[in-house]
Amino acid sequence: MYENELQKLGLTSGEARVYSSLLNLKSSTVGPITKKSGVAYSKIYEVLQRLIEKGLVSFIIKDKTKYFQAIEPSRLKDYIDKKREEIEENQEILHDLLPKLNSLISEKNKQESEIFLGEKGVMTAYDVLLSRAKNNSLLRFLYMHNPLYDEKVYEFYYGRVNYNFKRIDSVIKEKNIKWIGIISKSNVGKKLGRPPKGIDQRYVSFPVPGNIDITDDAILITIWSSSKPMGILIQSEEVANSFKEYFDSAWKLAKK
């Protein structure tokens, strides 16, 4: 009874069944607990010990025999409060540890390329691209229309990206990233909406190489023509520099 809810609070399946059984059994030896909970006898002592450590079960000894009993359910709040404190403590440890761990990664050891599939995958690729971008950097993008997938692309950039823009915007502000883009007007199948605030986008009448986002040392190529969108994230300063040169030349010809 209520095992699913207890598992959502952080108990394992076995712990939830044993605790629930003990609430009904009151005080009991391991035999009845094993039978009622369905936990194997070989595991019952291990499960009981974990519940004791979590402050949810206690025991007494009568005539050299252990009798286990569940602590009143109100103690579950103490258990949740303790978990919250542990999470907060772990977050502080991680906050201090991440810069140290990242400093151990040399440029040579960084993964050169990653592939992300589906719209959620492409959204994740954007998160990764921004998380790796340097402070005070310039994020460039090239956007190429194609009637074959215009609708899907429009819904993604003006739907999913706009919906998530608060999250993206916080990263941009934190890192002081400037975001500019070039859009090819050739083959435009749908009127574009206004870009999110903070993005300077301009237009050219000639084709661009593809849908590409460029940072100082990485590029994200997004392919929409397949049944599933695909993002190819390439971590390479050399490749990024080549695309930056093209972009900067095209930017001089672009119009608002």
pTM of the prediction? 0.55
What is the pLDDT confidence band of residue 241, given thresholds at 50, 70 and 90? Answer: very high
Location of structure tokens 């237009």 = 203
Candidate CATH numbers 1.10.3720.10, 2.30.40.10, 1.10.10.10, 1.10.1330.10; the one for domain 3-75: 1.10.10.10
Q: Which residues have CB under 8 Å from 185's CB, separation 6+?
A: 145, 203, 204, 205
- Give pLDDT, residue 111: 57
- Give pLDDT, residue 116: 93
Each residue of 107-120: pLDDT tens digit?
Answer: 554 557 889 998 88
Class of domain 107-251: alpha beta
Each residue of 30-59: pLDDT tens digit?
Answer: 999 999 999 999 999 999 999 998 888 999
Question: What token pair was written down for 152?
Answer: 């899907």
Each residue of 80-128: pLDDT tens digit?
Answer: 888 888 888 888 888 888 877 777 665 554 557 889 998 888 888 888 8
CA distance 53 to 146: 61
Return the beta strands (E) in the chain as ranges: 27-28, 57-62, 65-70, 113-117, 138-144, 178-184, 199-204, 211-214, 218-223, 230-235
Give residue 190's Cα distance to chain centre: 32
For the chain, domain boundaries: 3-75, 107-251
Each residue of 162-174: pLDDT tens digit?
Answer: 656 666 777 778 8
Nearest Cα residue to 246 out of 152, 142, 151: 142
Question: Residue 140 to residues 88, 179, 183, 243, 246: CA-CA distances in angstroms?
Answer: 36, 6, 11, 9, 11
